[in-house]
Amino acid sequence: MSSFAAEINKLKNIQHHLEKYETCLVENLSKCKEHKEFCDFYTKTLKSRAQHEQQVQNEVLQIIVPLRRTKKSLRKENIQNLDVNAIRKDMTEIEENIKNVKDLSLTAVNQLKKEEERYNEELESFKDKLERWENRPTYSASKPQFKRPAVNTQANICKEAQDFMDFVAATGGHENGWSADDHALFLKVKNKTKDPRRVAEIIHMLLPDISEEAVVAHEKWYETYLDLKEKQKEAIKHWRTNKMSNKQISSAIERAAPDQCTLRKSFSASGEKGEVEQKLVAWKKEKILKTEYEKEQKRQELAKQKELEELKKQKQEELRLQVHNWRLSKNKAERDELYKKQEEEVKEQKERALKANKLIKQFQCQDEIFIQNKLQMMQPQKKVSPVIKKRESYPRDPLRLLKPTQQWIMRTHAEKKDSGSFTNHANLQEIQKLGLPEWRKCIY
């Protein structure tokens, strides 16, 4: 018992020191704004812990108070005046309270085990993320990691579009060498917050493998990207307007021009026939090449869009299948676990019921035996005096040793009376025995 008390005191001292260090750590963390969520979680857990402790204390008191009351009544009151039914009722109530406390503690332990498993799963997922983040390439502001080859363009592309395409090819694509998910996260954060330093801090917090300097450089790149893209849009718009005006002028010229024969006559008359025909042929060739180039560009863009859409759909389908399979496996595992738990609970309830019935019967039998013994001990007992056999005293006659016995006298008397006839002799047990002489009483 002394060793047990020493271990309890040791554990209590360790708990006191740990709580002291814990409060100091939380106080230091509460000074930083970044750890506000952790401090809120700590206060929330403290409140739930205090509530649980209060609940456990109340349940233990429900067991201890009636037990002390019965113990006190058994010590003070007379056993004959005790109410056996009341004591039995108190004991059954104590047993039910102990059973409830046990069930509640088991449910709490199971809940804690579930939380432990959930936290372990989260830790494993974070470990996997950290490994993936460590294996990913780092991005720098001056030298992007991914570079695409320069696109060969036609001579008739405007300068703004050419500059935009060269910039995109030199800086690693439309995401500056970042992955599509990381660039989308950057755009999402940038739309919410306008401060560049704050954007860099948030991105670095969410993606630890990307430094704040890389985020700031990516934001500068994105500004130049938007500027060049806007210039490209303006140039394309201007080119389209010029194209439409050229079409209108050419159609007007065709409507106003005379027939081909009259035109040839005028050309032959003027002497400028060959020069004009050459110009018309060159213009037609240029126009045909231009339309073919535009068609080829549109066809390539449509093909690229279709490929991207197909890849996107394929990825979405794969993700859907994975999520569906994961949900099915998770639901199946949960159902199996729930079914096993229900079976175990039913089995435990049956075992507890059988055990409780056996213990109640044993307790009742022992209680009845104990009460009967106590009642017998309390009743007054009658003293039984020992039975002393009385001995008959006879007169002492030493000369009777030489005399014949009574049996011999009866026998000789019968022989004398009738030697041939049978006489009924007395039984030996009926014959009176000689008493113990007085002079021999002192010898024993």
Q: In degrees to the nearest 10, what's the CA dihedral of 22, 24, 26, 32?
A: -150
Q: What CA–CA distance (Å, rounded) separates 341 from 343?
A: 5
Q: Do 98 and 63 meet the contact criterion of CB atoms below 8 Å apart?
A: yes
| Higher pLDDT among residues 268 and 105, named by residue | 105
The pLDDT, as a whole number, for residue 150 is: 44
pTM reported for the whole predicted model: 0.28
Over the stretch 72-102, which tens digit does the pLDDT of each residue have? 777 765 666 777 787 788 888 888 888 888 8
By percentage, how much of the chain surpasses pLDDT 90? 4
Neighbours of 113 (CB within 10 A): 10
- Tokens 């930083």 correspond to what residue? 32
Over the stretch 3-13, which tens digit does the pLDDT of each residue have? 777 777 788 88
| Higher pLDDT among residues 188 and 426, named by residue | 188
For the cut 80, the answer to whether the pLDDT of residue 228 exceeds it is: yes
What average pLDDT does the chain have?
Answer: 77
- What residue spans of 1-81 are helical by DSSP H? 2-30, 36-76
Q: What CA–CA distance (Å, rounded) separates 170 from 150?
A: 7
Over the stretch 135-181, which tens digit does the pLDDT of each residue have? 655 544 444 444 444 444 444 567 777 888 888 888 878 888 888 88
The pLDDT, as a whole number, for residue 343 is: 92
Q: Do 340 and 348 meet the contact criterion of CB atoms below 8 Å apart?
A: no
For the cut 80, the answer to whether the pLDDT of residue 441 exceeds it is: no
The pLDDT, as a whole number, for residue 153 is: 43
Q: Do 150 and 166 meet the contact criterion of CB atoms below 8 Å apart?
A: yes
Query: Can you read off the two tokens belonging to residue 326?
Result: 């994961």
Over the stretch 425-439, which tens digit does the pLDDT of each residue have? 566 677 677 777 788
| Higher pLDDT among residues 321 and 242, named by residue | 321
Q: Do 177 and 145 meet the contact criterion of CB atoms below 8 Å apart?
A: yes
Phi, psi of 393 (to 5 degrees): -105, 140
Over the stretch 385-427, which tens digit does the pLDDT of each residue have? 666 666 666 677 777 777 888 888 888 887 776 655 545 556 6
Q: Do 219 and 196 meet the contact criterion of CB atoms below 8 Å apart?
A: yes
Q: What CA–CA distance (Å, rounded) separates 334 from 332?
A: 5
The pLDDT, as a whole number, for residue 442 is: 76
Q: Do 167 and 225 meet the contact criterion of CB atoms below 8 Å apart?
A: yes
The pLDDT, as a whole number, for residue 154 is: 46
Over the stretch 333-368, which tens digit does the pLDDT of each residue have? 898 999 999 999 999 999 999 999 998 998 889 888
For the cut 70, the answer to whether the pLDDT of residue 260 exceeds it is: no
- Tokens 């449509």 correspond to what residue? 302
